[in-house]
Amino acid sequence: MEISPLVWTVTLALIIGLLLFDFVFHVRKAHTPTIKEAALWSAFYVGVALLFGLGFFALGYPEMATEYYAGYVTEKALSVDNLFVFLVIMGSFNVPREYQQKVLLFGIVFALIARSGFIFIGAGLISLWSDVFYLFGIILLMTAGQLLKKELAGDSGGDEADNFIIRFARRHLNTTDDFHGDKLTTRIDGKRMFTPMLLVMLAIGGTDLLFAVDSIPAIYGLTQEPFIVFAATAFSLMGLRQLYFLIDGLLDRLIYLSYGLALILGFIGVKLMIHALHDNNLPFINNGEDVSVVEITTGLSLLVIVGVLIITVVASLLAPKGRALRAIQNAEKYSQRYVDLSEKAPEDREFSLIKTAEKSDYWSAKVANVPEKYQADLIEHRGNYVALLEKARGLRTGVK
């Protein structure tokens, strides 16, 4: 299928239109999305992505549709993993929740720009040097190994917010200690200064560059058509902001996601190496001749990717550690909500005080039954955590 300039133009217009719509109607006015809002818009963006893939079927190109869906699922999974890092970055800067939407949208736009650049660089390398697939395969295998090493070492990735861009900015830019709304700059004593919001966006942008190095070779392992690579990557990023608020709290419970992603990246890395052997030109491998190997089909790749993700998510949620983390997080959430609601007048409460008290009691009881090894591993700032639960419990005394 020859991708005409018109198809490229329409696709770009659709993506830019969705981004502008997202900014004008959701991000421009700072607020924290409700679960319902996040769920509806997440479903909308996933629906748009799925409908886009059906266009290949309608035009009679089922193989390209399969490549698109395999690339979309892979990039979406990698994007969800990226949300872990965004969560760490915004937590390290203490970004107010109502301003996180703007940071996320910036991250999405910057990721789209960065990955688009890598997409066309990758396409150029492929056209000039077919053996670049060996390099792509090595990159993915190394990335898979690093993910496994990080998980086995128990590295939480807390240094993600201290990349080289942030270190440069801290040394050379005058920044304030506090946020001033969602502004990037402010004026103090007549002097123009940058706010922490700028540093957060720089941190997100720096990590987006690193993510692009991993994600683009991964999707080129599933298709060599730049248009499909671009479309799958772009639509995987659409709705990531809403997904963040929808599964916030669930992210940490996906304790085996990194293992699943390591397996997927390793699988695609092997697929790339096999493809490179099939079109080999390196003189030190089989005297520069093609190596007769059975290639992995895109359909099989899609089944493997989806299967690994399903197993990873289900195993994470059913694992004792995952259930323990759910109890710990919910006890903290409902206790904090109860404390906050207690300080508001009845007409200003967005949740029922009695129902919140019941949920706080329920999850606090669950935490009491969590094995000590999990409590020690999963509860950060133990003293503050216990104090919050006790404060909520004290406030509930006498509540009927």
Residue 75 CA neighbour count, 13 Å, CB half: 35
pLDDT at 164 over 60: no
User: Are residues 51 and 171 located together in one domain of the fold?
Assistant: yes
Q: To the nearest 10°, the Cα dihedral for 196, 197, 203, 209?
A: -160
- Whether the CB-CB separation of 364 and 331 falls below 8 Å is answered with yes
Q: Same domain for 42 and 185?
A: yes
Model pTM greater than 0.85? Answer: no
pLDDT mean over 84-104: 76
- Whether residue 145 has pLDDT greater than 70: yes
Give the Cα separation of 370 and 386 in Å (integer): 14
Shared-domain flag, residues 188 and 287: yes
CA distance between the termini of the chain: 68
User: Quick one: pLDDT at residue 63?
Assistant: 92
> Is a pLDDT exceeding 60 seen at residue 155?
no
Beta-bridged to residue 192, according to DSSP, are 187
Kindly state the percentage of the chain with pLDDT values over 90: 14
Query: Which positions ≥6 away from 378 have C-beta within 8 Å?
Result: 321, 324, 325, 328
In tens, the pLDDT along 68-83 reads: 999 999 888 888 777 7
In the predicted model, is pLDDT for residue 354 greater than 50? Answer: yes
**pLDDT tens profile 265-317:** 899 989 989 988 888 888 888 888 888 888 888 888 889 999 998 999 899 88
- DSSP H helical segments within 185-319, as ranges? 196-220, 226-237, 240-246, 257-278, 298-318
Look at residues 318, 345, 367 and tell me which one is the last residue of a structural domain.
Answer: 318
The pLDDT score that the predictor gives to residue 382 is 83
Overall average pLDDT of the 342-355 stretch: 81
Contacts of 70 (CB under 8 A, 6+ apart): 222, 223, 298, 301, 302, 305
Of 290, 318, 346, which residue sits at a domain end?
318
Instruction: Give mean pLDDT, residues 23-38.
Output: 72
pLDDT digits (tens, 9 = 90+) for 224-251: 899 999 999 999 888 887 887 777 656 6
At 67, the pLDDT band (50, 70, 90 cuts) reads very high
Same domain assignment for residues 130 and 201: yes
**Which of 40-54, 95-109, 361-375 has the least mean pLDDT?**
95-109
d(CA 8, CA 246) in angstroms, rounded, equals 31
Residue 13 has a pLDDT of 94
Task: Look at residue 48 in the predicted model and tell me its pLDDT.
Answer: 94
Domain end position, chosen among 297, 318, 339: 318
- Asked whether residue 387 carries a pLDDT value surpassing 80, the answer given is yes
The model's confidence at residue 165, banded by pLDDT at 50, 70 and 90, is low
Calpha distance 290→310 (Å, rounded)? 36
| 290 plus 209 within the same structural domain | yes
Give the H/E segment covering residue 193: strand 191-194
Q: Note the residue count of the chain.
A: 400
For residues 113-127, average pLDDT: 85
Residues 377 and 281 in one domain: no
Question: To the nearest whole percent, how much of the chain has pLDDT over 70?
Answer: 90
- Could you tell me if 325 and 199 lie in one domain? no
Specify whether 392 is located in the same domain as 283.
Answer: no
Which residue in the block uniquely carries the two structure tokens 């005080």? Answer: 353
Measured between alpha carbons, how far is 385 from 392 in angstroms, rounded to an integer? 11
Q: Would you say residue 160 has pLDDT above 60?
A: no
Region 196-204: mean pLDDT is 80
- The answer to whether residues 233 and 290 belong to one domain is yes
Q: How many domains does the chain contain in total?
A: 2
Query: What's the whole-number mean pLDDT along residues 111-135?
Result: 85
pLDDT at 186 over 70: yes
Looking at the structure, tell me whether residues 48 and 147 fall in a common domain: yes
Do 67 and 127 lie in one domain? The reply is yes
393 lies in the same domain as 297: no
The predicted pLDDT at position 170 comes to 64
Vertex 367: Cα angle to 345 and 387 (nearest 5) = 50
The larger pLDDT score, comparing residue 180 to residue 111, is at 111
How high does pLDDT run on average in the chain?
Answer: 82
Distance of CA 85 to the CA centre of its chain: 8
What per-residue confidence (pLDDT) applies to 1?
A: 65
State which of 16-20, 102-106, 182-186, 295-299 shows the largest mean pLDDT: 16-20
- CA dihedral sign, ordered 68, 72, 73, 78: positive
Helices within 129-191 (DSSP H only): 132-153, 164-172
pLDDT of 116: 86
Q: Which domain holds residue 87?
A: 5-318
Higher pLDDT residue, 161 or 379?
Answer: 379
